[in-house]
Amino acid sequence: MPGGSIRKIARTVVMNTKADAELRAPQIVSTAANNVLETGKANGVFFADYEPKEVTKNKKPLTFTVSLFFDGTRNNRNNTDARKADNEVYKKHKNEVSFNNGYSNVGILERYNFRDPEERKLSIYIEGIGTEDNKGDSLIGSAIGTGSTGIPAKVKKGINAMCTEIYRMVDPKIEYIEKIEVDAFGFSRGAAAARNFVHLAQDAAAKQLQIAKTKVIYRFVGLFDTVSSYGLSFSNDTEDLGMDIGGNAKKVVQLTAADEHRKVFSLTDIRSSIGAGVGYELELPGAHSDIGGGYEAEEEEERLIETALEGQGVIAGARDAIVREGWYTKDQLYERLQPMGDNYYTMVTRLYGKRTVTGGYQYIPMNIMKQLAEKNGMQFNDMGKRFEVPPDMEQVKSTLVQQGVAGDGAHKKALSLPPEQLRPLRNKYLHRSANPSSLAMLGRYKDGKPYRVIHAG
């Protein structure tokens, strides 16, 4: 390529299929006088230091609306579909978590998101971190969010899918791209992916589609409880993934879990967007997946609640407190006298709780997010009565949805319920995700009370 310069970059988000590279080849040659950025055969190509000079005279301007939905760790709508169909793919992978999870709110919202190719309204679903369609789950992707099923890989897939779909729909001889309005949704690590997407997609899409990056506009970002847990150290994820969106989108909404306090489920808030006047963060009752979804209709939940040396009054206090808070009734609790580890000479009393938790609560956060998205220009198809809450949760839904939608503004807000609503809700519908019996699910406690680490985002 005489007259041009080539630079190689190791980690860049680009189109990565052979067909994409071939489509771009004539354009690459024609811009030899510019600096061309090449990322290697595996990663495709795009332009750097290139401001396109579009010829728009006598061409039709096109406006695209593209909504991307990044599912959470081990959430995969297609694998859940396989289980419900009881097909051969499910039978091969029936022990994998992603096949046995229910549908997340991200998966449901994408399925009902309005799309119309004729109007250039597109919708893209990206399966959750640690998963692939019709395949077994990835341990490294699920554990630390890296590798071929990690956060960057899913973001890259989302950008490439968006650009490919738009590219196919433009005839450059008679049309040009006037504007691309983008929405991004995510749950858990998928929410981290959505934020990373916002950090990268404007530049990447502008270069791939050869348009000014000012034509790529972020309209709405909807986040369900961002938990990045990326790499080996989770303390610097905001910087590593560019999760401080600030005012880059017209509206940023995050719904967070008031009852989540597991050690490896720290929250990344949206304070940069609140500070920019576009962020709205709502804290709702429930654990992580109560907010983002993915639990099945009914689940048996058994938890170790407290351990104390024989003869101490700690167990009685723990029993009274957890009943008072509404998590268990007295007849759902039981005690066991057991040896302390391998020391059979020292006995401890352990308090356990066992109950059946019914699904359905996740549709309340989903409804709030849907209404706020619609308020900011999005459209969804009619869901009918598919995602109605049980009758005894109707008043809770009315209270939380009214508070959540009416309270919209650039601030953080904790939604509250009166005790007579909160206690039965906890007992029947909200999960206790922290589990002292599992090293991966240990909770955080300070002075005997649960708390959650929150990172600035």
Q: How far apart are CA 401 and CA 379, in angstroms?
A: 18
Q: Are residues 110 and 197 in the same domain?
A: yes
Question: Is 66 among the domain residues?
Answer: yes
Tokens of 304: 């170790």
Return the pLDDT at 317: 92
Return the pLDDT at 5: 35
Question: Is 50 among the domain residues?
Answer: no
Q: Are residues 348 and 215 in the same domain?
A: no
Q: Are residues 398 and 304 in the same domain?
A: no
Return the pLDDT at 12: 34
Q: Are residues 69 and 173 in the same domain?
A: yes
Using the 3D structure, point to which of 357, 375, 390 is the last residue of a domain.
357
SS3 assignment for 349-381? EEEEEEEEEECCCCHHHHHHHHHHHHHCCCCEC
Q: Are residues 314 and 368 in the same domain?
A: no
Return the pLDDT at 362: 98
Place of tokens 């990373």: 196
- End-to-end CA gap in the chain: 43
Q: Which amino acid is at 47?
A: F
Return the pLDDT at 231: 92
- Name 338's bridge partners: 348
Q: Are residues 231 and 347 in the same domain?
A: no
- Name 104's bridge partners: 293
**Residue 200: which residues within 8 A CB-CB, separation 6 or more?**
13, 155, 159, 242
Question: Is 32 among the domain residues?
Answer: no
Q: Are residues 446 and 343 in the same domain?
A: no
Return the pLDDT at 80: 98
What is the domain range of residue 323?
298-357
Count the domains in the chain: 2
Question: Is 13 among the domain residues?
Answer: no
Tens digit of pLDDT at every position of the chain (457 positions): 444 433 333 333 333 333 333 233 333 233 333 333 333 333 333 434 445 566 678 899 999 999 999 999 999 999 999 999 999 999 999 999 999 999 999 999 999 999 999 999 999 999 999 999 999 999 999 999 999 999 999 999 999 999 999 999 999 999 999 999 999 999 999 999 999 999 999 999 999 999 999 999 999 999 999 999 999 888 889 999 999 999 999 999 999 999 999 999 999 999 999 999 999 999 999 999 999 999 998 999 999 999 888 666 889 999 999 999 999 999 999 999 888 777 667 788 999 999 999 999 999 999 999 999 999 999 999 999 999 999 999 999 999 999 999 999 999 999 999 999 999 999 999 999 999 888 889 999 998 899 999 999 9
We report the CATH number of the domain holding residue 332 as: 3.30.1070
